[in-house]
Amino acid sequence: MSPNATHRCLGLAFVAMLAAVPLAQVLVESKRGKSPALLDLFTEAPTARNLRAFDRRLEDSSVTVRTLRSWMQAAQFLVLHEGGAKALVGRDGNLFYAPGVNTLTQSPQHGDSSVQNALAAVTSFRDALDERGIRLIVLPVPNKESVYPQWFSFAAKHPQRIINPETRAFFAGCEAAGVEVVDLFARYREISRYPYYLAQDTHWSPLGLAVAAHAVAERIGRHGDTHFESRPIVFQIHGDLVRMLRSPVLESNLQPEEITAAQITNPTDAPNSEILVLGDSFSRIFQTDEPQNAGFIAHLARELFTPVASINNDGGGSTLIRQELARHPQLLAGKKIVVWEFTERDLRLGTEGWQIVPLPKLTSYRSPAGAGG
């Protein structure tokens, strides 16, 4: 075959490959009784917003993408040790949340006032609770990379202080404003043979949450008279950073992490408790999902010898959780202490930022005189 003929054959093969993808998509959609997604391009105004939305719909509905993406992501992770936009691969099988790492390695944008906004929101919330005779205790949970930077890079060493200057500024601002803060960063600097964080996950390990519960209980300084029984439980999970890769092929080829937790056998969450915990996914993990009643809430109740009330909002520790409380102010009836847990990265990345959320007037939800909590 002549060189020109070879080039023509290769060119036709390449064009056929390009045409095969949309043709297969049209055939599949037609078989399912759907109109081809490509037609949306001609039925909507060609604005930037519509084109971006069309591109997302096309990718999400693409049979080819759904078929090949999982294999490509698995190969990318297993061969190249590349986790994509959300997961970063560290040492010894440890994964890290890329946006969280960016808060440590990238300076905030010029004019970013997230720390000042966080301080304003925290002090406003503290003052609103104080008017109601409720004590606020703030619990910022360190990013995994703030506690174990050496798991991420050979060049990093075990930290001797809070790494992120924004976090240091937040702690200093809280101290100046008289806001009670539990310093988990200092607790986690203590060397332990067992890790405070899960390898495949953004969240703390059973030891990490137990240390946090003990630290908060020490700060509260009051105890009930309920004894909580516990039992060891062993289970296996793929962490949230593995699931973020959205690759069933990878999950089927990656060994899940084996976890041993202490599960509290008594009920630990009581709406009428004098103590309310506001939290995000750190308060949810192991508590309401597998294995249940082995999370921060359960261990705080055991440390305090009293059940506690709680509400959580995954990813919403900065503002959404307070908005939820403002919509249901009756949850504050009879409360003496509010523990507010949120993750360190939310100082910059908190969903809806750090808004000041006014609480309804005290008289609208205060318990009647003499009524029980």
- Give mean pLDDT, residues 267-282: 95
Task: Kindly report, residue by residue over 183-210, the tens digit of the pLDDT.
Answer: 999 999 999 999 999 999 999 999 999 9
Q: What is the rounded CA–CA span in Å between residue 142 and residue 160? A: 14
Q: What is the rounded CA–CA span in Å between residue 324 and residue 166? A: 27
Task: Kindly report, residue by residue over 315-333, the tens digit of the pLDDT.
Answer: 999 999 999 999 999 999 9
- Give mean pLDDT, residues 274-289: 97
- Give mean pLDDT, residues 245-269: 87
Task: Kindly report, residue by residue over 98-127, the tens digit of the pLDDT.
Answer: 999 999 888 887 667 899 999 999 999 999
- Give mean pLDDT, residues 301-320: 96
Confidence class of residue 87 from pLDDT cuts 50, 70 and 90? confident
Helix (H, G, I), strand (E, B) or coil at 60: helix
pLDDT at 276 over 70: yes
Q: How confident is the model at residue 253, as a pLDDT?
A: 78
- CB-based contact 25:62 (threshold 8 Å): yes
pTM of the model: 0.79
pLDDT at 66 over 70: no
Share of the chain above pLDDT 70, in %: 74
Confidence class of residue 369 from pLDDT cuts 50, 70 and 90? very low
pLDDT at 81 over 90: no
pLDDT at 91 over 50: yes
Q: What is the rounded CA–CA span in Å between residue 73 and residue 246? A: 8
Task: Kindly report, residue by residue over 140-156, the tens digit of the pLDDT.
Answer: 999 999 999 999 988 88
pLDDT at 279 over 90: yes
Q: How confident is the model at residue 107, as a pLDDT?
A: 83
- CB-based contact 272:294 (threshold 8 Å): no
- Give mean pLDDT, residues 62-78: 54
Share of the chain above pLDDT 90, in %: 61
Confidence class of residue 9 from pLDDT cuts 50, 70 and 90? low
Q: How confident is the model at residue 371, as a pLDDT?
A: 39
| Residue 168: count of CB within 10 angstroms of its CB | 14
Average pLDDT across the chain, whole number? 84
> Which are the contacts of 25, defined by CB distance < 8 A and separation ≥ 6?
36, 37, 38, 61, 62, 63, 64
End-to-end CA distance of the chain: 89
Helices (H) and strands (E) in the chain, counts: 17, 9
